[in-house]
Amino acid sequence: MLTDELREKLIESALEARRWAYAPYSGYPVGAALLTASGRIYDGVNIENAAYPNTICAERVAVFKAVSEGEREFIAIAVVTSNAGAPCGACRQVLSEFGLDTLVLIADEQRNLMVETTVGELLPRAFGMEQVRK
């Protein structure tokens, strides 16, 4: 169970990270903060590239940072944008790899929590390990 205090901390962490986003093409900075089962928070920002397919989203940066440090169990992720935009399909798929029950908090730049959901609700009928192994 995520406390209100922890929700606020995740949103604040994502908002703080957002200032480091590299978004010269879209002008749409995104910050993410991922809470792992160990209690650590990993942040991420979107990093754009002139070759657009090479751009990476804040959510995936946070996940990849956590995984590269040995984390595999996620509790929640907060995503902050100017208008409370939801994670893209690629981010939903990456998050699903580590648990459909991961809580997703979507907030705007004024720290208003606009949506609280799960990865599974964002990505119904997710493609996962079960399909690959069959």
What strands lie across the sheet with 74-81, from one edge to the other?
41-45, 31-36, 74-81, 103-108, 113-118
Mean pLDDT of the chain: 96
Instruction: List, for residues 41-51, the tens digit of each pLDDT value.
Output: 999 999 999 99
pLDDT of 134 reads 63
Q: DSSP character for 53?
A: G
CATH number of 4-133: 3.40.140.10
The residues spanned by each domain of the chain are: 4-133
**pTM, whole model, 2 decimals?**
0.95
| Predicted confidence band of residue 133 (pLDDT cuts 50, 70, 90) | confident
48 annotated active-site: no
Instruction: List, for residues 53-108, the tens digit of each pLDDT value.
Output: 999 999 999 999 999 999 999 999 999 999 999 999 999 999 999 999 999 999 99
Identified catalytic residue from 48, 59, 69, 130: 59
pLDDT of 86 reads 97
